[in-house]
Structure 1
Amino acid sequence: MLKPAFTVRRIGRRYDRGQVDALVERLMATVERRSTAPAVTVDDLRDAAFSTPLFGAGYLVDEVDAFLMDAERWLPDRPLAAPAPVVGEQFARTAPRFTTVRLREGYDMTEVDGFVDRVMATVNGLPVERPVTAQEIRRVQFSPVRLSEGYDVEQVDAFLDTAEGWLSGSR
């Protein structure tokens, strides 16, 4: 992992450089497994708060926020969708758990939850008013959310690819 090169500005929305550098150094030490301090967690990245310098230079807010969101995927404690456990000779598929996002675009949680419930009922052979088809999974579109909490887009899309495979018989 290379240390990021953030743009430095004296005006506009910016973060204190020392505070950002300290977190980035801890993050790099965690990822490279050379840390003697407590490891950085996904929650640490999501809860990171930096002051704005009154005078002097700072790092651009948008660049730092984008870097921290991207850095979540480097950490070992990043929550992922739960794998399907084996039950006897059959697979009992369990509903995934998605990471929630706040600082970047996500999918509407209510829409995703409702659709995933239908998918899981369909693939597990449970009664459902409208069983889901592989074609419906390919066409589904969820409303994006930007200012409120939503599900991680990449994780939801990866689950949909897997579910499509279940329903088309290719996985």
Structure 2
Amino acid sequence: MFTRVRWREGYDIDEVNAFVERLAATVEGRYVDAPVTAADIRNASFTPVRFREGYSVDEVDAFLDQAAQGMAAAPPAVARPVDQAAQAPAQRQFLEPPRFTPVKLREGYDMEEVDDFVDRVLATVNGVPVDRPVTAREISTKQFSSVRIREGYDVMEVDLFLEEAERRLSR
């Protein structure tokens, strides 16, 4: 989703993820409380972090600017009860952004490579316009650089996520 940074200012990962989930729920019309508005997006603030992992400030801010512009231009979503959404099997299920466990001193996948590819996968699977949509074949043949000394993502978790994404694209 966003580049993870350490030793320079970033935004608290959990706060950003929670806000993005609320935003996604609003866009999909499945919010439980009040929907997120363009004003909410423009006024969103997150706890800055410096000595622990956080999301890139520039990327999050750029995403929020784009989301606010899109929200202002789009008609408001119509809420429907959460139960009804769960009972509608024909309705498309969105692939949620994964949270991979960082590993160190054992084999992992290069975090930046995985994040970049996962962004494309999520956009393609969820029907969001993307410059280079991925194919099921590309997912099945994708190989990431391995890392051992620096932090990387848990290999099994990434592979399981990609298998699910490949299944969804193959349908």
**What is the TM-score with the length of structure 2 in the denominator?**
0.47
Please identify the structure whose Cα radius of gyration is greater: 1
After TM superposition, the score normalised by the length of structure 1 is 0.47
Using CA pairs below 8 Å that are at least 6 residues apart, which structure has the higher relative contact order? 2
Higher helix share: 2
